[in-house]
Amino acid sequence: MSRAPRDFAILVAVLVLPLVNCTTPDAVSKFCGSAGTTLTSASLVFDDMKLSCLREINSRDEFGTFKPPVQSDPNCNAIADQAAGAAAAAKVLSNYFGAINSLASFGTAKAGTDAQSLLSKTGAAVGASSPAQTALGSIAQFLVSAATSGYQRKQLEKDLPKVSANVSAVVSALITIVQDDYIDRQLGSEEQKLADRYREFAKDKSPEIKLLLDDRWHADEQALAAKRASAQSLITALQALSKGFADLAANAHQLTAKEVPGLLGPYATQLQALIPQIQKGF
């Protein structure tokens, strides 16, 4: 290798090396994308909070009264309003992960290629095949990629730890709402009242009718169990999301490019596997 290209290669290596030892945008982008989808799926659970309340109220009517189900109730509406607040909080988080995803997936390499192709359009000025044009193209591509990726990584390292505690607090609050208010209180109470409805109707009935009722109750119970399982999957996903984000934020300044996919990969894979499970019960 002649001296000029060798010196240029060394210069490029020196400039690029600090960028390599930073947060890897691809791994961050994949994790943020999965986190955003998880949070969007959470609205299925929050939407069912009002529906669960209404199902419980409708289960107060005995079988055979043939009354249309109620669609509105003051206390169920109050739960719906608060559930909408929870969905809005999930949306704030989803927007954050979306913005980080856009920042992480900004095409720095593409920006460089665009600059190079622009130069080739003006190649006639210096001669398309001349060494000057080739060198100009390479430098333009490198400049754009280096400038944008350096800025991109710096901003990611700044933005990630800044809200780490806030993301953790919001996720923890969402988990409390899903676990305590939805699974334990609402679905638990709905399940009890559903069973009471069957118990009340089964009183003094023949064994044959009791068997039929038992079959129907099992079907209703399975539907409730599916909703509970979906909500549990959401909790597991929110825990993975929170832990993955905390790990990333805590290590944003010191992880090498090789380590970041290793750190975030399991969380992203877990989230992707849980998303269909969250959607299953609704």
In the region spanning residues 101 to 130, those forming contacts with another protein, defined by CB under 8 A, are 102-103, 106, 111, 114-115, 118-119, 121-126
Which of 10, 12, 13, 60 lies at the binding interface for another protein (CB under 8 A)?
60
b/e map 38-73, b = 16+ CB within 10 Å: bbbbbbbbbebbbbbbbbbbbbeeeeeeeeeeeeeb
- Measured CA to CA, the distance from residue 167 to residue 165 in angstroms comes to 6
Which tokens is 137 given?
């193209």
**Residue 72 binding another protein, by CB under 8 A:** no
Which range in 3-11, 22-30, 140-148, 259-267 contacts another protein by CB under 8 A?
Answer: 140-148
| By CB under 8 A, residue 87 contacts another protein | no
Residue 214 near another protein by CB under 8 A: no
In the DSSP assignment, the letter for residue 125 is: G
CB 85, CB 170: distance < 8 Å: no
Stretch that binds another protein, among 194-202, 207-215, 222-230, 274-282 (CB under 8 A): 194-202
Q: Give min distance, CB of 250 to another protein, in A.
A: 17
Smallest separation (angstroms) from another protein to the CB of 279: 22
Any contact of residue 23 with another protein (CB under 8 A)? no
d(CA 278, CA 232): 8
Q: Which is nearer to another protein, 147 or 209 (CB)?
A: 147
* 178-183 LR contacts (CB < 8 Å, sep 24+): 178/42, 178/45, 178/231, 178/234, 178/235, 178/238, 179/231, 179/235, 181/49, 182/45, 182/48, 182/49, 182/52, 182/231, 183/228, 183/231, 183/232
Q: How far apart are CA 257 and CA 259, in angstroms?
A: 6
Whichever of 9 and 88 has its CB closer to another protein, that residue is 88
Residue 240 binds to another protein (criterion: CB under 8 A): no
Site of tokens 């780490």: 164
Name which position in 37, 40, 148, 272 contacts another protein (CB under 8 A). 148
Q: Which is nearer to another protein, 7 or 81 (CB)?
A: 81
Nearer to another protein, 18 or 266 (CB): 18
Which stretch in 88-96, 212-220, 225-233, 235-243 sits in contact with another protein by CB under 8 A?
Answer: 88-96
Nearest CA-CA partner of 264 in 92, 18, 24: 24
Interacting residue with another protein among 10, 18, 109, 151 (CB under 8 A): 151
**DSSP-derived secondary structure for 219-250:** HHHHHHHHHHHHHHHHHHHHHHHHHHHHHHHH
Can you list the alpha helix ranges (DSSP code H) found in 163-205? 164-176, 188-202
Q: What angle in degrees, to the nearest 10, is found between the helix axes of 25-58 and 74-104? A: 170
In the set 34, 38, 43, 186, which binds another protein (CB under 8 A)? 186
Sites of contact with another protein (CB under 8 A) = 49, 53, 56, 60, 73, 75-76, 78-79, 81-83, 85-86, 89, 92-93, 95-96, 99-100, 102-103, 106, 111, 114-115, 118-119, 121-126, 132, 136, 140, 143-144, 147-148, 151-152, 155, 159, 162-163, 165-167, 169-170, 173, 176-177, 180-181, 185-186, 188-189, 192-193, 196, 199-200, 203
